[in-house]
Amino acid sequence: MFYTRLMPTPLPAPYLVATSAPAAQLIGLPADLSDSLDILIGNAVPERAQPLAAVYSGHQFGVWAGQLGDGRAILFGDVATSAGPMELQWKGAGLTPYSRMGDGRAVLRSSIREFLCSEAMHALGIPTSRALSVAGSDQGVVRETVETSAVVVRMAPSFVRFGSFEHWYYRKQTDQLKVLADYVIDRFYPDLRQAGNPYAALLEEVTRRTAHMIAHWQAVGFMHGVMNTDNMSILGLTLDYGPFGFMEAFDANHICNHTDQQGRYSYANQPQVGHWNCYALAQALLPLIGEVEPTQAALDVYQPEFAAKIDELLHAKLGLTMLEDQFDTDRALFDDLFAILPGVDFTLFFRRLSGVRAADASGDEALRDLFIDRAAFDAWAERYRTRLRAENSEDARRTVAMNQTNPKYVLRNYLAQVAIEKAQNKDFSEVERLLAVLQRPFDEQPEHEHYAALPPDWASHLEVSCSS
């Protein structure tokens, strides 16, 4: 069986914390969902819905973990939208047959983080699952301390994971593996039916999408934190937000997940881990593909696809419109930038970069102020200016374009923390405000300037772990 039908477990005295109007609109719902609270928390089930929890397996931190599955997610809807079908899940709505040692619940803290980040990533133009709502209940759940429960309603065309395929591969149930692959191809990749080997074509397309997704993460400084194969979407969507983080003071080896002591999922490691995960998927699809050679060929698209996408994104971040083939020195310009970037706030750097002028250093000041080693910055900035002049870059036009690419507002951990602490005291206004800011990450929002500021000193003690 691919899933088990079951009902969510009710929570006492629920309250609505926040909803996303654009997410609601996408599935044809009004912005105000307060009438639907019972459904949003899983105390009522929509008419005709037959909720289910799906089984999957996976590699966790590089080690085969066996069966996992939806331990606290329950699928309850499938809505046709202008962007294709959208499935709806409760996350945190109670025990399932796959809960293992867990309680089937999610805490308010991690639910607010998933809710905000899903919608923030979407607004950044990065492929992701969406979040419709977060609702809470004062029912206690035990983590490091006792916290309160919450349920996120999240949406994606599919929640099928790499681990869904690994599950049947490791059980040697090739018939089930084929049912799953055929379902995914027919529903989400119908064009691949024309390919000589549709399963190899599926692997290639998922590999490509994964490479692109991770290039987007690197370009915006997003770190997922738990890139286990059970958290890797077969549609190339950012999925299962846990101890994620956005890069602040740049450190290529930054580890956002306190539980990840080896740094397997550090910023610098994300691209190669994405490739490793595609290998795990390839292994699982091998019985369907039939031969090693086309399997390897499908995997081999990862490196060039990642390289081409990150190259494209970095050009855009620097406001450069002519690409690599015209300027073979661009790679060195990018590498040398990352060599001087350590310690500098990632988001502020790229945002302020749009103020640099091609002719002279008169626009450098705000950017230069971010650096301790000003001489190193000046040297790089001169090379950058030379490069801008080589393509006759116009300052005004480039500034506009760069500000559409380099966000002003990202979900810094401390911003989430402030909203969470207020919400824990039943003041949900900050979640709402922060969501509104993050839904327009590229816009100047003068009234919200402080949301773009460097983290305060207390934020350096913040730690996020797998506990959620």
Q: Which is nearer to ligand AMP, 100 or 187 (CB)?
A: 100
Measured between alpha carbons, how far is 211 from 217 in angstroms, rounded to an integer?
10
- 88 burial type by CB count under 10 A (0-12 exposed, 13-18 middle, 19+ buried): buried
Binding stretches for Mg ion (CB under 5 A): 231, 240
Which residue, judged by CB position, is nearest to Mg ion in the bound state?
Answer: 240
Told to check if 256 binds ligand AMP by CB under 6 A, we report no
Told to check if 231 binds ligand AMP by CB under 6 A, we report yes
Told to check if 72 binds ligand AMP by CB under 6 A, we report yes
Q: Which are the contacts of 147, defined by CB distance < 8 A and separation ≥ 6?
A: 107, 108, 109, 140, 141
Residue 105 contact among Mg ion, ligand AMP, none, beta carbon within 5 to 8 Å by kind? ligand AMP
CA 135 to chain centre: 21
Per the DSSP assignment, residues forming a β-bridge with 380 are: none
Q: How far is the CB of 413 from Mg ion (least distance, A)?
A: 20
Told to check if 345 binds ligand AMP by CB under 6 A, we report no
Residue from 119, 240, 260, 430 touching ligand AMP (CB under 6 A): that is 240
Q: Which is nearer to Mg ion, 210 or 231 (CB)?
A: 231
> Which amino acid makes up residue 135?
A
- Among residues 32, 78, 230, 443, the one annotated as catalytic is 230
Q: Which is nearer to ligand AMP, 113 or 315 (CB)?
A: 113
Told to check if 274 binds ligand AMP by CB under 6 A, we report no
Q: Which is nearer to Mg ion, 281 or 358 (CB)?
A: 281
Measured between alpha carbons, how far is 266 from 264 in angstroms, rounded to an integer?
6
Q: How far is the CB of 27 from ligand AMP (least distance, A)?
A: 24
Residue 242 contact among Mg ion, ligand AMP, none, beta carbon within 5 to 8 Å by kind? ligand AMP
Q: Which is nearer to Mg ion, 87 or 336 (CB)?
A: 87
Q: How far is the CB of 228 from Mg ion (least distance, A)?
A: 7
Q: Which is nearer to Mg ion, 36 or 231 (CB)?
A: 231
| DSSP structural state of residue 190 | G
Q: Which is nearer to Mg ion, 114 or 240 (CB)?
A: 240
Q: Which is nearer to ligand AMP, 242 or 407 (CB)?
A: 242
Told to check if 226 binds ligand AMP by CB under 6 A, we report yes
Residue 385 contact among ligand AMP, Mg ion, none, beta carbon within 5 to 8 Å by kind? none
Residue 99 contact among ligand AMP, Mg ion, none, beta carbon within 5 to 8 Å by kind? ligand AMP
| DSSP structural state of residue 128 | B
Listing DSSP states for 87-124 in one string gives EEEEES----TT-TTS-S-EEHHHHHHHHHHHHHHHHT
**Do the Cβ atoms of 454 and 248 come closer than 8 Å?**
yes
* Half-sphere CA count of 73, side-chain side, radius 13 A: 25
77-116 footprint of ligand AMP as x/- string (CB under 6 A): ----------------------x--xxxx-----------
Q: Which of residues 306-325 bind ligand AMP (CB under 6 A)?
A: none
Told to check if 176 binds ligand AMP by CB under 6 A, we report no
Residues binding ligand AMP: number (CB under 6 A): 15
Measured between alpha carbons, how far is 280 from 257 in angstroms, rounded to an integer?
22
In 318-370, where does DSSP find H-type helix? 330-340, 346-353, 365-368
| Residue positions counted in the chain | 468
**Do the Cβ atoms of 320 and 356 come closer than 8 Å?**
no
183-222 footprint of ligand AMP as x/- string (CB under 6 A): ----------------------------------------
Per the DSSP assignment, residues forming a β-bridge with 88 are: 77, 155
SS3 76: strand
> Which amino acid makes up residue 224?
H
Q: How far is the CB of 231 from Mg ion (least distance, A)?
A: 4
Measured between alpha carbons, how far is 231 from 239 in angstroms, rounded to an integer?
6
> Which amino acid makes up residue 95?
L
Task: Tell me if residue 230 is catalytic.
Answer: yes
- 319 burial type by CB count under 10 A (0-12 exposed, 13-18 middle, 19+ buried): buried
Measured between alpha carbons, how far is 185 from 288 in angstroms, rounded to an integer?
13
> Which amino acid makes up residue 308?
A
Q: Which of residues 41-70 bind ligand AMP (CB under 6 A)?
A: 68-70
* Residue span binding ligand AMP (CB under 6 A) among the ranges 34-42, 148-156, 225-233, 287-295: 225-233
* Per-residue tokens: 43: 């105390």
Told to check if 242 binds ligand AMP by CB under 6 A, we report yes
Residue 69 contact among ligand AMP, Mg ion, none, beta carbon within 5 to 8 Å by kind? ligand AMP
Catalytic residue IDs: 230
Q: Summarize as ranges the residues that interact with ligand AMP (CB under 6 A).
A: 68-72, 99, 102-105, 226, 228, 231, 240, 242
